[in-house]
Chain A
Amino acid sequence: MEGTEEKTASNPMNVDVEMPRQRPKERVKNFKEVALGYTEEMAIQEARRCMQCKNPPCIKGCPVDVPIPSFIDCILQGKYAEGIAVIKTKNSLPAVCGRVCPQEGQCQMNCVRGKKGDPVNIGRLERFLADWEREHGAQIPERTPSTGKKIAVIGGGPAGLTAAADLVKMGHAVTLFEALHVAGGVLSYGIPEFRLPKDIVQKEIEYVQKLGVDLRLGNLIGRIHTIPELMEQGYHAIFISSGAGLPQWTGCPGENLGGIYSANEFLIRVNLMKAYNFPEQDTPIRIGKHVVVIGGGNVAMDCARISMRLGAKVCLNYRRSRTELPARREEIENAEEEGLMCNFLNAPAEFYGDEKGWVRSMRCTCMELTESDEKGRQGVKPIACSDFEVDADTIIVAIGQTPNPIIQRTTAGLKTDPRNGTIIVDEDGRTNLDGVFAGGDVATGAATVISAMGAGKRAAKAMHEYLMNEGPRGERPSTGN
């Protein structure tokens, strides 16, 4: 890492404790978790680096306000059960967050230690406690007396699980509707096993169920029940967290050839349906020798790293330069260590297939960077007469997702953004319909696990206030406060 030497020389407390990881040459041959986690000694050593700031800036960077110094202190004292309890006051999915949160841009970005060296590795410590708890059995908090209110939460991903857990802890009766046969949303279908083992996700979901959430699998809201029907069935409030599952496409000719996958299809086959175990598992995946992944986000990195594990040579084609890659730095480094090649500043133009309709190559156009747009995003434009062709027998399109349209299409009057189909909400997740809240990717477009959890938390709080302070539907005070 850049600048590490200087930091080491000045003060060893400025250097974080490395987390053991599988070696690249080995891990690229298996689907086991790459990062192996801290031992107790490592965790205590890292916990010692926390300065226990009186006014901790790290908490300000956490979308769900985890009392960070307080749980780190518990580690120092060896009070692991208390430590995990502290985290769970705010975060019901610590084993997930400890693994996939972009801590470097959140809590750890604000850490005072980070000014002179490595910030305290908050994520690794959170993971340590969560893993400790899983090995020692989770404590279930006592049930809050019932408020008599019924809530429907739609979508069992990070936003929905968080909202459901918070609401049930407040004493509401919560039914969580999940369209797939497994809950977890992107945690189950999207993030690969080697970054987030699925048995850990299942344990977190079981915890949420043990809190009292009634989980209904295989229920696609919008089809089996619509939002107005749920209202009629007596749900006092509804939280829509149906995610951003609809894949975006390049629009280039030949995109419907065999061997061209959306990132979602690829991920669902491999992660949810465990196609890497085919034929032991029934769902197959077909992958060639030369895979091109189009895109540059975390999803693209996941697809690339899976492809390498399935035995392919993988090239990432991204239309901007390395500097603009939106994926987490750590993921890019992991992928490159495992053998990912990158081809920057080019965009797909056309896909060519063989006589059987399977992709064999693609034509790309070189791009150049232009001025940034008003959002500060680097612009790009094609360079004339710069097209080139590359061989590829598998292509994975990982250029983003928009919300699934089924609920929006079946809920009359629900306000959505016509450009991308996101549900329009205020900062607490209120939609324009009384009693209907929304949050997570369905409201923001594709984002991170923790930001979805933050949205779930804020909405849960707002829903609680709505249910406890305001009158029944139709008698809501005009101020809305």
Chain B
Amino acid sequence: MYRIVSKERLAHKQTLFEVEAPEIAAKAQPGQFLIVIPTEGGERVPLTICDYEADKGTVSFAFHEVGKTTKELGTFEKGDRLFNVTGPLGNPSQIGKYGRVLCVGGGIMIAPVLLQAKAMKAAGNHVTTVLGSRSEEFLFMREKAASLSDEVHLATDDGSVGEKGLEFLTDLLKKERFDRCVVMGPVVMMKMVSEITRPFNLPTIVSLTPIMIDGMGMCGVCRVTVGGNMLFGCVDGPEFDGHLTNFDELIKRQRTMLPEERLSSILWENKGRCKCGRN
């Protein structure tokens, strides 16, 4: 179990894995996540489910190589086995017939937002999808987005393709009426989109990715303040009302282990080719 059935490079340092996990595949729903442990002794990493096929018994997740564990994960190939995959965790997204739905995906989270788009489309909504990233080379799954959505907009930070930045969303919202917005991406981006939709009173659902360990309600490291209440990303979320979420606190909490994460990452990169002379 947990054999990697396929590995797809989405962009530089961004990878999609399809993993054998029949029990999880049978239960998974959009919006839920997995806890992946690549090797024994490794970290428990929360990763959003990007797709699942109950018949095939597989579930997919995507990741961006930023720290030690995701870098290590990137070295896994088709046929390799992961030490453990637990899921599906978290509450499924509310998928209903809302009317016109705006799905915004940023960076690696483009992959799971397309699962939202697919489910929203299947529920009878008119789906507009926005794919955002740093630059053109990081904009993957464009064709898939086009096939799942009624409309697709592209946006890049550097303007290399599509719109430059996300400011165009304001114009879009002025022009078109939407009934629901789903955002998945870096915290800063989810904050920005929530601020853009706020004046339009557009219900905005964000999928939060706080630091997690167990992912099942025990450790409380994933706590977020939503509407003034302390909630847990893992058992109360991962999706919350973007207009009520305290993003600034979340950003600070995301950074609490940065020095340790950097150290771990540097040691991993230097493994076997250390130049300090002591090894």
- Chain A interface (Cβ within 8 Å of chain B)? 179-181, 189, 217-220, 223-225, 245-247, 249, 255-259, 261-262, 264-265, 268-269, 273-274, 278-279, 281-286, 356-358, 404-406
Contact = CB atoms under 8 A, between A and B. Distances in A.
A257 B256 CA distance: 9
Given A256-B230, A356-B255, A264 B24 contact: no
B141 interface: no
A190 to B, nearest CB: 10
Interface string B67-91: 0110000000000000111111100
Given A220-B216, A279-B260, A404-B216, 14 more contacts: A181-B37, A219-B23, A224-B24, A245-B217, A246-B217, A246-B218, A247-B220, A249-B220, A255-B230, A264-B218, A265-B220, A273-B44, A282-B41, A286-B259
A220 B34 CA distance: 11
Q: Is the interface of A mostly helix, strand, loop or mixed?
A: loop
Contacts of B252: 257-258, 356-357
Given A249-B230, A284-B257, A358-B256, A405 B84 contact: no
A457 to B, nearest CB: 25
A442 to B, nearest CB: 13
A405 B217 contact: yes
28 contacts: A181-B37, A181-B44, A181-B83, A218-B35, A223-B87, A223-B89, A224-B23, A224-B88, A245-B217, A246-B217, A247-B220, A249-B230, A258-B252, A268-B213, A268-B218, A278-B260, A279-B264, A279-B267, A282-B43, A282-B264, A283-B43, A283-B44, A284-B257, A284-B261, A286-B259, A356-B255, A357-B253, A406-B217
Q: How large is the interface on B (under 10, 10 to 19, 20 to 34, 35 or more residues)?
A: 35 or more
B249 A220 contact: no
Contacts of B85: 218
B256 A286 contact: yes
Nearest to A226: B27
Contacts of B230: 249, 255-256
B218 A404 contact: yes
Contacts of A265: 213, 219-221
B263 interface: yes
A262 B88 contact: no
Contacts of B87: 220, 223-224
B89 A245 contact: no
A262 B220 contact: yes
B179 interface: no
A286 B42 CA distance: 17
B100 interface: no
A357 B250 CA distance: 10
Contacts of B267: 279
B86 A220 contact: yes
Contacts of B260: 278-279, 284-286
Nearest to A267: B219
Nearest to B68: A282
A298 to B, nearest CB: 17
Interface string B221-244: 101110000100001000000000
Contacts of B27: 223-225
A225 B84 CA distance: 17
B214 interface: yes
Chain B interface, DSSP helix/strand/loop, else mixed = mixed
Contacts of B255: 258, 356-357
A269 B213 contact: yes
B161 to A, nearest CB: 35
Contact of A181 (B23, B86, B221, B257): B86
Contacts of A404: 216-218, 235
Complex A-B, nearest 10 residue pairs according to Cβ-Cβ distance, in ascending order: A357-B252, A284-B260, A258-B256, A265-B219, A218-B86, A245-B218, A262-B220, A282-B43, A181-B84, A247-B220
B94 to A, nearest CB: 16
Given A218-B84, A224-B27, A249-B230, A273 B218 contact: no
A356 B259 CA distance: 13
Contact of B253 (A258, A269, A281, A406): A258
For A217, A245, A278, A358, which residue has the most chain B Cβ atoms within 10 angstroms?
A: A245
B256 A259 contact: yes
Contact of A286 (B23, B89, B257): B257
A261 B222 CA distance: 11
Contacts of B41: 274, 281-282
A179 B84 contact: no
B36 to A, nearest CB: 10
A336 to B, nearest CB: 28
Contacts of A189: 218
A256 B233 CA distance: 13
B223 to A, nearest CB: 6
Contacts of B259: 286
Interface string B7-23: 00000000000000001
Given A219-B86, A273-B44, A264 B220 contact: yes
Contacts of B35: 218
Contacts of A218: 35, 84-86
A268 B214 contact: yes
B237 to A, nearest CB: 13
A262 B216 contact: no
Contacts of A274: 41
A262 B86 CA distance: 23
Contacts of A223: 27, 87-89
A157 B177 CA distance: 52
A267 to B, nearest CB: 9
Contacts of B235: 404-406
A189 B44 CA distance: 14
A286 B218 CA distance: 19
A255 B219 CA distance: 14
B278 to A, nearest CB: 15
A108 to B, nearest CB: 32
A256 B225 CA distance: 8
Contacts of B224: 256
Contacts of B214: 179-180, 245, 268
B222 to A, nearest CB: 9
Contacts of A282: 41-43, 68-69, 264
A259 B220 CA distance: 12
B159 to A, nearest CB: 32
Nearest to A281: B41
